[in-house]
Amino acid sequence: MTFFWRTKNCSSDYPCGPFSNWQYIFSTVFPSAALQGVDFNKTWTNCVCGSDGQPVSDGPYYVSNYTKGQGTVLKANPFFYGHKPAIQEVDFKIIASTNSEEEAMRGGEVDAISPTFGLYLQPLKSTPGLTFDQIPGYYFEHLDIREGNAKAGPSVSKGASNVLLRAPWMRQAIMMGIDRQSIINTVYGALAGNTKPMNNMIYYSTQTDYKPDFGKWNFNPAKAIALLKKHCTGGPSSPSGGNSSIWQCAGLPAAFNWSWTSSNSVRTTTEAIVAQELQSIGIKINARPIPANVIFGPNGLPSGDFDIAEFAQITLGDPGDWYDQNRCYGNGNWDGFCSHTVDTLTKTGNAELDPAKRTIDFQKADAVLAGLVPMIPFYQRPSPVIHKSNLLGVVNNPGLYGPYWDIQDWHWK
C-alpha cells in the first residue's frame, strides 16, 4: 500500500505535508471487506464485527462478548500471525468503585487490575500472593489556567472570572506559591516513591529529551511575594499561615475559582493544601468542586467556564500529542492560551522527519511555554498494575494501553 501526504484543502486543523509521528496513523488498519456496506460511525458500537456478524481482529484476541456496564470477554484469535496466546480467554469486569476494586483484588475475585493510582491501594503492597508494580505513567497531572475571557475557539464565549490570570507574572507567582513536592508526599504517602514535580509541558520526566524548564518557578513563597509587590498593593510582606491580606492588582483582588472533579479525593486534598499555601502569600482560592459528568461536559472546562482547574491528560508519550492543546484556537485548547512562536515551533516539529531536529523544535517550544506559564505542571502520575503473583508475563507500560500491550505473553505459572 502507498500513502500520500495531503496537498490540497489544508488548514490549521487539517495541515498538509509530512507528519513526524506517522507510525501512529497506522496503529489500526481497518479491513475494507469487513466494513463493506456498514455505517462507519455506527459499526462496532456493541460488537467488533464485520457486516457478516463475524468478529474482526488484527491482534492476539477478538471480542467474543460485550455487556454494557458490566464488561467484555476476549478469546484467543486462532488466525493471529504473532505469538500465540497461552491464556485462551480473558474476562474484563467493570468495577466502578475504587475501594471495591481494591477489595476484589485482595479477596481473589479478580486476577489483575490496572486501577487509578491512590493511597487506597496501600494494603495490596503487603498482601501475600500479589505482585504490586508502579511506574511513572503518561498521565500529566496539571493546573489549567484560563486566561481571562480569551476564547479557545469561535464556539466558546465563557471565560475566567478574573482577568488577572492573563498576566504571566500572576501565573508565575501562583506557581511559586505551590509546594508541589509536599502535595505529592501528602496525597500519595508511602506510595509516592520517587515521584517528583514535573517541569515540562511537552516531555515527561522519564523521557530522554525532558528538560526542567519550569524549574525556575519552583516553590518559593518569598520570591512570589516580591513579584506580586511589583504589580499589586495590600498584600503581606512575608509568607504567613495566618495571613488575611489579599493583593489588589489594577483594582482587582487576587482571588480565583479552583475547579476539580468533586469525587476525586486526591484533588480535593490538593485544593485544600494549595488554598492555604496561596492564602499565606496573599492570593485567595475559592473552591469549586464539580461532578465528573459536568466538569468534562460541554458546559464544563471545554466551554472555558473556569479560572484554575486541576485534571490529568493522558497521551501516548509523543511530543506531538500536545500540539492541539497548545496551539492558538486548537480544539484541545481550553485555556485560551495563544503564542504564535509556540505554534510555529510545534507545527514545524510535527512535520520534521529528522528526530534530532524535531526534538530541538519541541524543546524550544517548551522553553517559551515555561516563560509564559499557561499551565502549571504538577507531576507524572504513577501507573499501577497489581496481579496474582502466579500470573506471569505482565509488564507495565506508561502509555494509554497500560499493561495489556503484551497480553499474548501472559501465562499461569
**Percentage above 70 pLDDT, the chain:** 97
Query: Where do you find CATH 3.40.190.10 in the chain?
Result: 32-136+384-412
For 3-62, how does the pLDDT look when each residue is reduced to its tens digit (9 = 90+)? 888 888 888 778 888 899 988 888 777 788 888 888 888 888 888 888 888 899 988 999
Question: Is the distance from CB of 376 to CB of 175 less than 8 angstroms?
Answer: yes
Give the pLDDT mean for 134-155. Answer: 80
User: Of 10-24, 293-307, 386-400, which range is least confident?
Assistant: 10-24
**Segment 166-181, tens digit of pLDDT:** 999 999 999 999 999 9
Q: What pLDDT is attached to residue 53? A: 86
Residue 348, pLDDT > 90, answer yes
Q: Which CATH architecture has domain 32-136+384-412?
A: 3-Layer(aba) Sandwich (3.40)
3-state secondary structure of 360: helix
Residue 151: per-residue pLDDT: 52
Q: Per residue in 184-235, pLDDT tens?
A: 999 999 999 999 999 999 999 999 999 999 999 999 999 999 999 999 999 9
Identify the pLDDT of residue 11.
84
Q: What pLDDT sits at residue 225?
A: 98
pLDDT over 80 at 156, yes or no:
no
Round to whole Å and give the CA distance between 137 and 317. Answer: 9
Answer yes or no: is pLDDT of 153 > 60: no
pLDDT digits over 60-119, tens only?
999 999 998 899 999 999 999 888 999 999 999 998 777 889 999 999 999 999 988 888
DSSP type of residue 322: G
What secondary structure letter does DSSP report for 395? Answer: -
- What pLDDT is stored for residue 76 in this prediction? 97
Spell out the alpha helix ranges (H) of 67-209.
98-106, 168-176, 180-188
* pLDDT recorded at residue 400: 73
For the domain covering 137-381, report its CATH number: 3.10.105.10
> Which residues belong to CATH 3.10.105.10 in the chain?
137-381
Q: Is the pLDDT of residue 149 over 80?
A: no
> Residue 273's pLDDT band (boundaries 50, 70, 90)?
very high
pLDDT score recorded for residue 394: 95
Q: Give me the pLDDT at residue 26, please.
A: 82
Query: What would the mean pLDDT of 310-334 be, rounded to a whole number?
Result: 91
Rounded (5°) CA angle 355-361-366: 125
Calpha distance 339→328 (Å, rounded) = 7
- Asked if 260 and 290 touch (Cβ cutoff 8 Å), the reply is yes
Q: Could you tell me which of 104, 106, 78 has the C-alpha nearest to residue 91?
A: 104
Confidence of residue 269 (pLDDT cuts 50, 70, 90): very high
What was the pLDDT predicted at 150? 54
Quote the pLDDT of residue 228: 98
Q: pLDDT at position 160, please?
A: 82
Question: Which CA distances in Å does 367 have to 74, 123, 129, 215?
Answer: 45, 41, 47, 11
